[in-house]
Every structure is written in C-alpha cells, then in structure tokens.
Chains A and B, each alone.
Chain A
Amino acid sequence: MTAVADPARLAVLRELLIAIVRDMRTTMIRTAHSSVITEGHDFSCALLDGAGELIAQSEDSPAHIFPLARQARLALAHFGGRLDPGDVVIGNDPYQGGTHLNDVALIQPLFAGGRRIAFAVVRGHLADVGGNVPGSISGGAREIYQEGLRIPFAKLIAAGRPVRAIGDLIRANVRLPEASTGDLEAMRACLRTGAARLEALRARIGTAALGRGMADILALGERRMRAAIAALPAGRYGFEDYFDGDPHTGESVFLRLTVTVTGDRLDCDFAGSAAQVPAPLNCGLTSTETGVFTALKALLDPKSPINGGAFRPIRVAAPVGTIVNAQPPAACGGFGEMRRRIESVTMGALAAAAPANIAGDTKGTSNHVLIGATNPAHRRTTVFYEWPAGGTGGFFGGDGSSAMRAYDEGDFGSILPVELVEREHALMVERCELRPDSGGAGQFRGGLGLRRDLRLLAETGVLSVLSDRNRVPPFGVCNGQSGAPNRFRVWRDGAFIAPSEIPGKITGFRLQKGDRLIVETAGGGGYGDARLRAPESIADDLRQGYVSPQAAAALYGPAAQGRELRLRVVAVDHDRFAKGGRLIGLAPSDLRHLGWTEEAPPGLLELVNPRGAPLRAWAVVAHQPAGTVSLGPKARSFLALDDNAVLAIRPLSA
C-alpha cells in the first residue's frame, strides 16, 4: 500500500462531502410531491468537482451514477465551457448523458472567488413528461417522440433569474403539471442545500484545501479501482444475453460484451450487439457505462464510497447505432431494462475471473406498471405507478432474498402500501404474496418473486407496462438454475387475456371494470448445483411452501438429472446465430430427451457453466451425432471449454 500524505484529514473530508449529499437527499425526499420520489426514492444527488468529476454520492440509485457526472460535463460543453453563478441547467436527453425522458437533471455550477469549484447536481424521475400514455413510460413506444418531452440543455435559471419560457414549456407538455412543478422545486431546494453546505465547508477549510482534497479523493478512488482490476487475471472475457421482443420480428434482441483486462485497465466493447430497435430497448452510451460500472463495483469492490476516480481505468465502447449507443429517434424508455442486462453480461463475462461476489441474476427490469383511471370516490384521475421487486440471486453461502431490492438498486420500496393504493386509486389490491417455485434452484436457491393482483374499480382504465426478462429468465450461476421470468396477465370474465403481443411490453391497454391485472415478478437465479442443496434446506422450503412438492421432486429429486443432457463438445469454426439469437443444433434423439418433439418444437435452452453464467440459445434440429454439440469459438471461449469437453444442456421452455 502506498502512503497517503494525510490519511486522516482526507478521510474526514470525504465523509464531510458525503454528508452534504445526504442532506441534499433529505431535502429532496421531504419536499418532493410524487410518490415515485417520496416513496420510491427514484432520484440521485451528487457533488462534482469543478471539471465535472464525481466527488461524493450517498445511498443513491446506481442507475444515475455515471449519467450525473457525464451530463454535467456535456452541459458545460454545450454552453461553451461558460456557466455563470446562479445558473441552473436542465436536461433529460438520453443521447446527451440522460437516461430516459422521465429522469430530469438539474445542474448547478458553484463558484468561489470567480472560479468554478464544483457542481451540485440532482436527477429526479418526474411522474409524467407527456408522451403517449399517462406516466410516459410504455412498452409499446417505437420512437422517443412517443415517450414525452425531450429537453436538450437549457437554463432553467439564468444568473439567478428563472427562465419563464422553460418552465411554461414543461408545464404545457406534461399531464401532471402541478406535481412536476412541485418536484422540480424540490430539486432546486436540494441544490440550494448542497450549495449552502459546500460553501460553509469551503469557508471553513479554504478554497485551496477543498480543491486539493477533491483531487486527492479522485486519485485514491482511481488507485483503489486500479488495484482491484490488476488483481484479475489478464485476458479476454465475453458474454451475451437477450432482451425480449423486437416488435418487427417478435424475436429477441441480442446483446454482446467483450471485456479485455490489461494490467490495471479494463476495456468493455459491445461490438456485435443488435442494431437499435423500434422499441424502448435502446440507450445512450452513458447508460451503458452505468450498467458496466454497477456490475464491476459489485464484483470488485462493493464496500467503498464511489467517486469518479474509480471510472478512470474503465473504458466502454459501443458501435454507433446499436441498442447500447442509440441515436435519435430510438426510444429509450427501457433504460432500466438496458442497464440491468448490461450488468448481467458484465457479471457473466467476469464471473470466472472474479468469483468472490457473483450471484444468480435478478429480475432484470424495472417492471414499470402504470394504470391511469378516474377514482369515483373523489372524481380525480390518478396514475398508479409501481415497480415491483423480484427475488435476488443465490450466492455462495446463502439463498437469495424474496421480493427485495437487488444489489444494483437504491434501498427503497417498490410497491405502495395497499391502504394508500385503495384510498388514492380506483383499484383494489386483491392479493400480494410470494410466488412459490419462482426462485431458481441451486445449492443456494434464488429468492422468490412476488405476485400482486390489482382489480380495476373504475369503469375504464389504461394499462401500460414496461418490463423485460418475460421470456429469457434470470440465469443461475455455477450450475444454479434460472428463476421464473416476470409475467403480466389480465383476467377478464373468467379467462386470461394477453394485453400485448410481446409479453411485458404493454401500451395503453384498455382495462374494463372488474378486470384483474396479475403481476408476477421474477425469482432470482440459483447458485451452485441443486443436487448439493442441504436436505434440511429443501425440507424447510417444503414446510414453508416456498417450493411445492412437485417442483421439489422435479428440481431436487432423482428426476432432476433426467431433464439435463450431457454432451461432448465438438469444436467448429463459427458460432451460429439467427433471428436475434444463438442457435444450437442437436440430434433429434437428444431433442426428444429434452422434451421436444415434432409437435412440440424446440425452444430455449442453456449451456450450463459450472464456473460462471450459462449461455442461452435456441435449439434447432440438426445433422449432429447424438450425444454431441458443436460450439463455435466464442461459445467455447465464454464457457472456457476445450474440444471434447463435456457440457451439460438444460431446456428452459417446454
């Protein structure tokens, strides 16, 4: 360990700066209007240095870590490097450091003696920013224009004076102008708190000491991350995964990552990922960086405070025009889905290299559920909005937790109190319970998802859902099995109806009185071979009803091995892809063994990875010797398999 000049003084300064951000958070939570902020805490605050590098954060949502700093730097560039005291810049453009349009950032430069010494920034989720549906977010958006008002950088306050036109423009384009105005005011109060507290600190320790301290904090953050990266075996790693549903083809949307570790540097390249799609499954490069960093942080150094120094050794590249570096007018509403899958592939790529903190995958989506309806009790039209949690992944030493916010999310609620929902909205919550059998099996089981039934009490309502991992489920790791995917169904007149063609992507579905929306969130992926699960843990799962007797027999009993197939790997020159997914050709007898026949055509399977995450692929019938599987160089490299190795294959769909 290299010596730090004054380790105590710097530790003190770092803590003082984080305390300022905590105060900003308190102001925001207590003064905001919308439950998405007051209850859901869907916002983040930060202090940046004068150049726009992140200095201090608190318990904020990791979703905003990168964007906060990146957006401030872009805003500064936008105004030619010139911002004045008393300026507050507003922006929400996903292509310029934003996330999705609902997330609106306010950026305030702070000065001392005429020099810019810092930025206070805050980004909050506004309940509505216009667009096609109440709440703005919807699974059916095809272009960003349907997702609401896009605000390129503009001064909301110029040298202390509010720019009325900007405020008017926003109010004129959103459905809940009062709430949005209130939340923007809360964000300004939050910046005022940050500015006042930082000024008090500066006055006490002096401008020079503050500046030096901030530079040292960044240097130490960089040093810590570089040391963590240098501890990884150098080399190339890769992984791939999917999003549900390109609306043109109905097929999956492909995501690929290649990671190169060179000394204390880490490069991530998303070349090979799908071209942007006319669905809300695109994001700007900043959101891609966010996903990468969140997973790296969890894998390499989960405990330390975050600052921009830790970003310096990490480089993220993605080809322009792909889903992970989208260009106008790609819809970006599913940024929460994008960044989570980017986390999944980052963890999948590095699982074997950094095994200490890996865990089964999580629900992989925000699970936005929005219902607009008029409450007959007080004749007000309200927008119900929840983002229900799923199960977390099993990890070495413990089962995942049920219905809990995952490692990559802020610590806040995701469902509203029933007693509040039923007072405010024309909805009855008919049940809210754990979803048995949804946790991925494993030596350490994934946590259970939840089931929540909502009945509409108004004459009509409008339902929108933006979710993912409805088809390709959260993966287990180290031979652990998948959690159950997310599922959204409507029960009407004694039968289920599908509210959308592509599951989990619902826009403006007309609900009728008495309709019941059944939300089921994903279970977490399991960790380790299910056959190694302690018998007493299985017995307890059965006793408590976390696992049904049928599922226990299928997953942990002697029948468990029957569903799996062990095949010899034959090396071939090319990986096979079609229609948005990896293809695996298998002999008819092997397909039959997995439960697929001519009448029940083959579907999704996974190539089990005993030391990391499994690859998923679609099975096709092929001229392939029974008992073998042909794998191209990428698959062999991702799974670290030699020619002639034995690979276990597991079907994921019936």
Chain B
Amino acid sequence: MGKPPIRIGIDAGGTFTDCVIHDPVGGALHIRKLPSTAQAPERAVMAALALADRLCGPIGRVVHGTTVGTNALLEGRGARLALLTTAGFRDLLEIGRTRRPAPGLFDTSARKPPPLIERRHRLEVVERLGPDGTVWTPLDPASLARACAKLAQIGPEAVVICFLHAWANPDHERQARAAVERALPGVPVQISADLLPVPGEFERLAASTINAYLRPRMARYLEALDRQLAERNTTLQVMGSNGGAMTAAHAALQPIRTILSGPAGGIQGARHVCRAAKVADFITCDMGGTSTDVCLVQDLIPGESAESRMAGLPLTLPQIDIHTVGAGGGSLARWEPEGLLRVGPESAGARPGPAAYGLGGTEMTLTDAALLLGWLGESSLAGGAVRLDREAARRAATDLGRQAGIDDPLRLAEGIVRIAVTHMAMAIREISLARGHDPQDFTLVPMGGAGPMFATLVAMEMGMRRVLVPLHPGNLSALGLIAADLRHDVVQSHGGRAADADPHGLAEAFARMRQSAAWRLVEDGFPAGRQRFHYALDLRHAGHAEGLTVPLRHAGESMKAVVRRFEERFETRFGLGKRGGAVEVAALRVVALGRVVPPALPPWPRQRGPVRAMARRVLHLEGRRIGQGPIYDRAALGAGARLDGPAIIEEYGSTTVVAPGWRARVDALGNLRLTMTSDDRRR
C-alpha cells in the first residue's frame, strides 16, 4: 500500500490561477496564486502540477475550473461551423424568437449579435417529423447527399444538425450524422437530440450551436492537459456549470456545460466551508472588479436555473442559478443628466483601474470611495504589494463632486458606497425575495477580494443578521474544485397530466435513466458504492408555459404528494394558489453523483492572549466618523477571538468591514462569523 493520493484544484481566472493542493499526509491544504497567461491558460495549470510534484506523492484527482469555453464564446473565437436543418428553416438561428438583445428598449441602434453560423453555411435537407416524432416526410437521401457535398466545399471545423421535433425521434438526425461523418471524417458533428432532447427547436439549436462552436477548442485544450496528466498516471476533471465535476472527455464533448465553471467552483467552495461550519442555508456574494455574482444555497443545495443567455442565445442546460449585477471594486461613479449619482455598470477594470492605483485611472471608483472612508488603508492591498494613493482618490472625488456642486469628498464616497450596496442587495433580492425565500433565514457568505468589505452593509440592507467570511475568501473556487462530486444530468421530456401518469411507467422511465447514468459513472471510475441518484419532476399548471422543478424524496414517491409539494412551492414563490387544478408533467430529471470524500478542513490555531488591533485610523462608517478605528490582522486572530464593530480586519487579498452593531468571532476553522447584535442603526 503506497502513499494516499494528492488532490489538486486549479481555478484558472483572467489574472490569477488559484491552486489548492490537498496533501493527505497530515491533511494540509497548500494554497498558491499563480499568474495567468491569457493566450495560454495551460501554462499556469502546468505550473500548479509542478508544485504538486514536489510533494512526492501519487496524484489522485485533478479538478480544473476553466474559462476557455466562456472566453471563446464571449470573444467570438470558436469554430467555423456549418448547419444542416429541416428544409424551410435555415434561418432559425438568426430569427430565434425575434427577441432583441437587452437592454434595447427605446434604442434605435440595438442590434442582434451576428449569428454563430453564417447564412451561406446553413444548409437544408428535405425531411419532416410531426410533433410526436412520426415521419411526415422521410429523409430524402438525394438532398442529404447534396448537403454533404456542399459541406465538403465549405470545410467547417464542426457541423451542427438540428431537425424539427428531433427530440421526439432522433432517427433523421442520426442518419444525417452518419452521412456527414462519412463525408467529413474527423470533423465533430453535434446533433440536437443528443445534447438537449426537449421540445423547443430554437433553444435546442442554440445549445447545439454553442456546443459545436466550443468543441474543437475545448478538445484541443483538454487533450493537451490530459496528456500531461497521463504521464502522472491520473486523469483530469473539469468543473461544470451545474456545480459538479465532469471528466475531461465529457467536457470536451459538451463544453457548453462548462460556461459557469469558475463561479460554480466558488459556490462549491462556499458549500464545503459552510458544511464544515454547520451553516446549511446561505447566500454567496462574490465581488470582483466589474461585477458581483450572487447565488442562493438552501440545505447546502445551490439554486439551479435553465434560463440564461450568452452571445444573444439562450443556454438551456441545468446550471447553478447565479445572478450578476454590474457593481465591483472598479465600478465608476458618474452623474446622470438630471443630477442623480450612478455607480457602474461602466468599470475601470484592472487597467487603468481605480484612481488610487496610480495606473492612469482618474475617475472615481468604488475602491477609491472605500479608501477615502478609511476602509482600505494605503497598504491594504495584496499585503502592501500594491500601494493605494489616497491623494489620487481625493482628486478623483473632488473632480466628480465639482460637476454637481458637492465639495465634500466623504459625502460623495458615502453615497457611492450606498448605491453599490443597493446594487448588491438588489441582486440578492432577485434570488431570494423575488423567488419566495426570506433572506433573513440565510447567512451571507462574501467571497472575492472586495466581497467582505461590503458584507455587513449588504446584510443590513436585506435584514440578514449573520455573515460568514471564509478563510481565504479570494481562493474559495480552487477549494470547491477539490470538494465537488462528479455529476451527470439526465433529462427526459414528458407530456400529459400528472393525474393520468402511470406510476409504473414513470418508475420504469426513472429506472432506465438511472441505469444509463450508472453506466457512465462506472466508466468515469465511480463503482456502485460511490454512486448516488436524485430524482425530480418538472411540473406546471395546465395552460402555463413554465413551472417548477420539484425534487422527489425517492424515485417511487406518490404523484399526489409531489403535486401537492409543487402547488405549495408555486404558491410561495408566485403568490397565486391554484390548488386542485390540472398539473402537467413536462420532464423527468435524474441527477447522478459520483461521490467524493471532501478534504477535511484543518483546525485553526486558538487565540492566545487578548485580541489586539495592529493599527488605528480614521474610519467613516454609516455616517459616523470614528477617530481611532481599530484595524486587525486576520492572520493574528486565533479561533475564539472576538471583537466588536466598528472595525476593519485585513488579510492578504481581502478586507472585512465590521459595521457598528456587529460582532465578529473567529470559529474553530478560522472563518469570521459576524452577527448583528443591535439593529438600531438600520436605515
């Protein structure tokens, strides 16, 4: 019996690649930040592996959070595509549902982004299915041959095939795929029925197109990495948008499932930390330079959604429900023509960055406001590696204030913070109140460098009384990668009323779905003992276009109970009861998990002696001036340490503001637990 294997999580971001290495000997977690190379993200990954090699143990599991797919889509650097579709529908990708990109109301220059497949590369094939999958017109071999000949001329890097009603009968798509594969050997072919076998031709086509667009690039990237890992006798896994890991082979075939790879890692990291801290219901708030992502997690299960858009196209696959607002550390403060203050969505980003960075930025940002208010010190950033220039921030504030006759930079800074906090609170509102959850029942978990700075203020805005600032809030994603289970989502469309559904038929359908998922889990290296399955039904009221996904307690749960739960949830969320009306089953879902034992989080050293501030400075908080505001060093606060707001807690890569009326305590794992002790300061 050799040494137990090392586990590695590598989260590749735009500026840094975060790496967490779990050494099973002694259970240490090694955390490293490596610079990213935009054009060659694999370099930082290799560097992370080299770090692990030094630990001299076998490498067990490597899970990667990647933005390769996301960036290729956003920057338009995907494959050159061609499409085969049902005759009469070559323009479906361009017409879509005729929606306009948002925001575009009143904007006469609003434009659709160019289609991912040029019109001249969209070819028609004579064939037609009916809505139940019956063949109305057989697939015409001559038209298919013509299309294949044309494809050979076009020379695409990948081919999409999407026929009407193919979700109900994939035969025509499969025949066409065989012909295309013969005509263009080696070129990836994406049929719509494989990726998303549900009704809705545009959504199916859009998903198939995005997937095909990303396939060649993602396959090249992952194959290169996988070769490196093969030398180390292990394989690569990739974090999926659904919060579960997937094998590199699966990710190379379905890169569309990696679009939220990075953020999903962060939420898994928060989940891992919160599980150890015994916090089951929480809301994450991940603040970066230009935007803030929020996500609601209940019973340690992140919310899921199948409604998001990218590159003007709908993404209709299960993914973590993340809501984004344009408020980040670099968000610019500007005036509206009528004299109202606005913060974001424009951002100074990392370059030129906030005025205080001294990199050429002259406009006032949220970070400059935090500096003026004393929340950040001049050496607070990256352990003092980046100096912040208070005078530059003051100049930016004076310039901004002059435009509206406000000569007090502090008042302006307070206004900017108040607006940014509102933006973040609004994002939390969208995923909590607007969906029938009371935020007061949740703990706020801030992440990213700037998240902890605003957490207590955002919490007060939403009536939340608890905040948990994880250890290393800037590196949670990489930790989440190590802890995540492997996951497959299986979905099958269904039609008909719940009351008429044959229980045996449903049970059989679930059994078949489970069987196929189990097969894949075994192939991925997860034997029966490490498999777990969750079942759910998509239900909707008759006549409604959309409903809710309702998890089942077990595959054979009685339909009556499930429908009742659906009705209750629907009523809670939308405020309209429709008890006893007809309910339809839209789809069956199975989530198959390959279970991973998450690494234990090491205990945090106990506090020895009294808690002491490392410095004091003037703070402005909640309209109050605090002359001798205490600044604490987080690394020096041991488990059990307590302190009261107003206070600032600094650490490498992040700063936590403890608002007046809040108390901070360091828990046994080193997390900061902030609780509101009095709410007399609520606005």
Contacts and interface: CB of A to CB of B under 8 A. Distances in A.
A104 B97 CA distance: 25
A544 interface: yes
A23 interface: yes
Nearest to A387: B98
Contact of B105 (A23, A62, A186, A420): A62
Interface in B181-222: 199-202
A408 B107 CA distance: 8
Interface in A425-450: 428, 430-434, 450
B90 interface: yes
Contact of B338 (A223, A409, A434): A223
A419 B131 contact: yes
Contacts of A9: 415, 418
Contacts of B104: 407, 411
A358 to B, nearest CB: 7
A418 B340 CA distance: 46
Contacts of A193: 575
Contact of B339 (A220, A431, A543): A220
7 contacts: A3-B406, A7-B415, A11-B419, A303-B107, A401-B111, A413-B97, A545-B119
A32 B419 CA distance: 34
Nearest to B340: A11
B199 A417 contact: yes
A204 B679 CA distance: 13
A35 B404 contact: no
A298 interface: yes
A208 interface: no
A357 B107 CA distance: 8
B130 A422 contact: yes
A392 B112 CA distance: 10
B164 A419 contact: yes
B414 interface: yes
A62 B164 contact: no
A204 B336 CA distance: 26
Interface string B632-671: 0000000000000000000000000000000000000000
B119 A1 contact: no
Nearest to A422: B131
A11 B339 CA distance: 10
A7 B106 contact: no
A12 B422 contact: yes
A593 B91 CA distance: 38
Contacts of B106: 62, 294, 297-298, 302-303, 407-408
A433 B164 contact: no
Contacts of B164: 418-419
Nearest to B576: A189
Interface stretch (A13-21, A138-146, A274-282): A13-21
> Which residue among B89, B102, B119 has the maximum number of chain A CB atoms within 10 Å of its CB?
B119
Sorted nearest first, the 8 A-B pairs with minimum C-beta distance are A8-B415, A431-B88, A413-B97, A359-B108, A224-B338, A189-B576, A302-B106, A389-B98
Contact of B419 (A12, A34, A223): A12
A4 B416 CA distance: 15
A23 B405 contact: no
Interface in A291-324: 294, 297-298, 301-304
Interface stretch (B376-384, B426-434, B596-604): B426-434
A430 B100 contact: no
A299 B100 CA distance: 18
B341 interface: yes
Nearest to B203: A417
A398 B406 contact: no
A120 to B, nearest CB: 13
Contact of A59 (B89, B102, B200): B102
B165 interface: yes
A411 B99 contact: yes
A185 interface: yes
B540 to A, nearest CB: 10
Given A8-B419, A405-B100, A221 B545 contact: no
Contacts of A192: 575
A549 interface: no
A398 B111 contact: yes
Contacts of B98: 388-389, 403-405, 413-415, 450
Contacts of B576: 27, 31, 185-186, 189
A475 B316 CA distance: 38
Contacts of B414: 8
B206 to A, nearest CB: 12
A210 B359 CA distance: 42
B109 to A, nearest CB: 5
Given A1-B339, A220-B339, A544-B118, A432 B110 contact: no
A358 B543 contact: no
A410 interface: yes
Nearest to B200: A417
Interface in A549-586: none
A220 B200 CA distance: 44
Given A294-B106, A413-B99, 13 more contacts: A3-B404, A7-B341, A10-B340, A16-B426, A19-B430, A228-B337, A395-B108, A401-B111, A404-B100, A422-B165, A430-B88, A432-B89, A434-B119
Contacts of B339: 1-4, 7, 220, 223
Nearest to A12: B422
Interface in A192-248: 192-193, 196-197, 204-205, 220-221, 223-224, 227-228
Contact of B202 (A178, A417, A422, A433): A417
Contacts of A39: 545
B391 interface: no
B107 A38 contact: no
Interface string B143-167: 0000000000000000000001101
Given A7-B415, A8-B418, A398 B109 contact: yes
Interface string B100-133: 1011111111111000001110000000001100
Given A7-B341, A8-B419, A182-B543, A419 B99 contact: no
Given A227-B337, A389-B98, A432 B108 contact: no
A563 B416 CA distance: 59
A419 B340 contact: no
A397 interface: yes
A409 B89 CA distance: 25
Nearest to A58: B105
> Which residue among A185, A359, A428, A433 has the maximum number of chain B CB atoms within 10 Å of its CB?
A433
A38 B97 CA distance: 13
B102 A411 contact: yes
Contacts of A450: 91, 95, 98
Contacts of A393: 108
A30 B105 CA distance: 22
A4 B340 contact: yes
Nearest to A179: B543
B278 interface: no
A453 interface: yes
A403 B94 contact: yes
A14 B340 contact: yes
A302 B576 CA distance: 35
A407 B95 contact: no
A410 B91 contact: no
Nearest to A407: B108
Contact of A224 (B99, B102, B103, B337): B337
Contacts of A62: 105-106
B546 interface: yes
A644 interface: no
A19 B94 contact: no
A404 B95 CA distance: 7
B129 to A, nearest CB: 10
Contacts of B105: 59, 62, 302, 407, 410-411
> Which residue among A16, A31, A297, A298 has the maximum number of chain B CB atoms within 10 Å of its CB?
A31
A38 B422 contact: no
Nearest to A357: B108
A592 interface: no
A420 B199 contact: yes
